[in-house]
Every structure is written in C-alpha cells, then in structure tokens.
C-alpha cells in the first residue's frame, strides 16, 4: 500500500486534515471526529501532495466552488461505498432525508444502516453527508457537529431548520 500524505490547515469551519495517496483522496477530517482514521501514525506530512484537495475544499468553504473535481479513494464495505457514491449525487443546495437516500440505493427500509454508513463517511464535504437530514427537516448527527452542519447548509443557501448552534460564518 502506498503512503498517505496529509496536510492540516485552518478553514472557516475549523481545523481540517486532508489525506491522499496515489489512488486519490482517502480522508477529510475535522478537528474532532467521532470515528478516527486508522493508521494516522504512519501518514507523512506533505502539503504539496494534497495541495489540490486543500485548494478545492477552501474554495468550497469560501463560497467559490459548488462541485469538486477530485479523484476519491474511500475505503469501506460494499454497502458503505454504495451509500457514499450516492451521497455524491445530492446536488449543491439540496437536502435528502435518510429515507430518500435509502430509497435511492434501493433499500427503502435500511434508513438506520444508511445513517450508520453516512456517519462513517471518510470524505465529508466532498461526499456531502451534511446534505442528509431527518425526514421532518431537522438536523441530525454530523461528524463535524451540528453547528458546522448548519453552517454548511447555509453556505449552500439552505435554511438549516433545527440549528441550535452559533453561525460559524458570521
């Protein structure tokens, strides 16, 4: 397996880490994550190796980009990969419920499994798990925290119902 190169940098939503290898971007991490990436002690710090993903992430977070043009290489189960691939189909400025996401993958009764896969998404922002909300429009779990989820939705022009946190972009 090829080495993972990473950089850690400040962003409008706090400290982010992006890691990639010769296959593509493997991880985007918030300052605090529910599920940490394994093997981080073997990653090699090389800002130049991840300059393009860092640039695109910052463009998105500054409202200058709506789509990412990156080679992605997430690792997960077949089911997780299906969910993550389907996340990429949620358009900018749009939300889907967990139920809608489950229906899109052809598993309409698998909302909990879809939620679990969504929660393990190793590439938040690029695979927009922040665009998945509760069926009644409320914000539900997000690895970067609900205030960050609400801020990302507002960045995309979505009224973030259920926002209980501070506006990170104010």
Catalytic residue IDs = 129
3-state per-residue secondary structure call for 81-149 = HHHHHHHCCCCCCCCEEHHHHHHHCCCCCCHHHHHHHHHCCCCCCCCCHHHEECCCCCCCCCCCCHHHH
Strand, helix or coil for residue 46 = coil
d(CA 49, CA 4): 9
């Amino acid at each position: 397996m090829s080495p993972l190169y990473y950089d850690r940098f400040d962003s409008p939503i706090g400290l982010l880490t992006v890691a990639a290898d010769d296959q593509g971007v493997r991880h985007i991490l918030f300052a605090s994550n529910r599920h940490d990436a394994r093997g981080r002690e073997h990653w090699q710090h090389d800002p130049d190796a991840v300059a393009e993903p860092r640039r695109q992430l910052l463009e998105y977070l500054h409202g200058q980009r709506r789509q990412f043009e990156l080679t992605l290489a997430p690792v997960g189960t077949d089911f997780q990969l299906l969910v993550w691939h389907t996340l990429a189909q949620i358009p900018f400025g749009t939300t889907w419920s967990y139920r809608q996401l489950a229906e899109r993958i052809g598993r309409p009764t698998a909302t909990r499994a879809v939620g679990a896969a969504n929660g393990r998404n190793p590439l938040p922002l690029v695979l927009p798990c922040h665009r998945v909300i509760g069926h009644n429009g409320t914000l539900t779990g997000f690895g970067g925290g609900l205030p960050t989820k609400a801020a990302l939705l507002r960045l995309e022009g979505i009224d973030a119902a259920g926002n209980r946190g501070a506006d990170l972009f104010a």
